[in-house]
Structure 1
Amino acid sequence: MNQPTHAVPVMEPPSPLRNTRLMSGIDQALSIKHNNLVYDLRAAGRDVVTLSLGEAFFDLPLPNFDELITTGLHHYSHSRGLPELRRSLAKYYDAQFGVPVDADHELLVTAGSKAAIYMVLLAILEADDEVILLEPFWLSYPEQVRLCGGTPVMVPHDVSVSDLAGYVTPRTRAIVINNPNNPTGHVYTAAELRDLHDLADRHGLLLISDEAYNEFIPPDQEFLAIGALDPEKRHTVTVNSMSKNYGVSGWRIGYLIAHRTLVDQVLKINQHLVTCAPTILSAYLAENFDRVLDITRPQIQRTVRMRQEVEGWLTERGIRTLPGTATFYLFASLGGSSLSSTEFAARLLEESDVSVVAGIAYGASCDRHIRISVGTESPDRVARGVAAIDDLIRATTPGAMALNSGDRPVPCSTQRE
Structure 2
Amino acid sequence: MKDWQKTLSQTVNQVPPSGIRRFFDVAAKMEDVITLGIGEPDFVTPWHIRESCVYGLEKGYTSYSSNKGMLPLRQEISNLYKREYKIEYDPETEIIVTVGVSEAVDLAMRAVLDPGDEVLIPEPCYVSYKSCVILAGGTAVPVPTGIDNEFRVTAADLEKYVTPKTKVLLIGYPNNPTGTVLTKTEMEGLAAFAKKHDLIVMSDEIYGDLTYGGLEHICFSTLPDMKDRTIVFNGFSKAYAMTGWRLGYALANPVFIEAMNKIHQYTMLCAPITAQLAGIEALQNGEVNMKKMVQEYDRRRHLIYEGFCRMGLETFEPKGAFYIFPKISSTGLSSEEFVEQLLQREHVAVIPGNAFGASGEGFIRCSYATSIDKIAAALKRIENFLQHI
How has the CA–CA distance of structure 1 residues 351 and 272 changed in structure 2, closer, same or farther, with 3 Å as cutoff?
A: same
3-state SS of 1:239 partner: strand
1:33 counterpart (22, 31, 54)? 22
The structural deviation recorded for 1:160 is: 4.2
3-state SS of 2:77 partner: helix
Residue 19 (structure 1) aligned with residue 8 (structure 2): yes
Give yes or no for contact 1:133–1:176 (8 Å, CA) kept in 2: yes
Counterparts of 1:309-388 in structure 2 under 5 Å? 309-376=303-370, 378-388=371-381
Give yes or no for contact 2:95–2:252 (8 Å, CA) kept in 1: yes
Q: Deviations over 1:13-44 (max 9, x none)?
A: 88487333222221111113333333343xxx
The structural deviation recorded for 1:318 is: 1.0
How has the CA–CA distance of structure 1 residues 349 and 14 changed in structure 2, closer, same or farther, with 3 Å as cutoff?
A: closer
For residue 184 of structure 2, what is the aligned residue in structure 1?
A: 190
For residue 142 of structure 1, what is the aligned residue in structure 2?
A: 130
Is 131-140 or 29-38 further displaced after alignment? 29-38
The structural deviation recorded for 1:73 is: 1.6
Counterparts of 1:15-414 in structure 2 under 5 Å? 15=4, 18-41=7-30, 46-59=31-44, 60-61=46-47, 63-64=50-51, 65-68=53-56, 73-158=61-146, 160-163=153-156, 164-218=158-212, 220-230=214-224, 233-376=227-370, 378-396=371-389
The structural deviation recorded for 1:232 is: 6.4
How has the CA–CA distance of structure 1 residues 39 and 201 changed in structure 2, closer, same or farther, with 3 Å as cutoff?
A: same
How has the CA–CA distance of structure 1 residues 255 and 128 changed in structure 2, closer, same or farther, with 3 Å as cutoff?
A: same
Q: Deviations over 1:272-301 (max 9, x none)?
A: 111001101211221442323322221122
- Output the aligned Cα RMSD: 2.1
Q: Which has the larger radius of gyration?
A: 1
CA distance, structure 2, for counterparts of residue 232 and residue 165 of structure 1: 19
Question: Is there any run of 5+ residues in structure 2 with no aligned partner, and where?
Answer: 147-151
Q: Deviations over 1:299-340 (max 9, x none)?
A: 122112211221011112211224531111000110411211
Give the structure-2-normalised TM-score: 0.92
Give yes or no for contact 1:123–1:265 (8 Å, CA) kept in 2: yes
Give yes or no for contact 1:184–1:323 (8 Å, CA) kept in 2: no
Runs of 4+ in 1 over 4 A off after TM superposition: 12-17, 69-72
How has the CA–CA distance of structure 1 residues 288 and 334 changed in structure 2, closer, same or farther, with 3 Å as cutoff?
A: closer
Identity, in percent, stands at 29
Q: Which has the higher helix share?
A: 2
Higher relative contact order (CA 8 A, sep 6+): 2
Give yes or no for contact 2:68–2:95 (8 Å, CA) kept in 1: yes
CA distance, structure 1, for counterparts of residue 141 and residue 237 of structure 2: 28
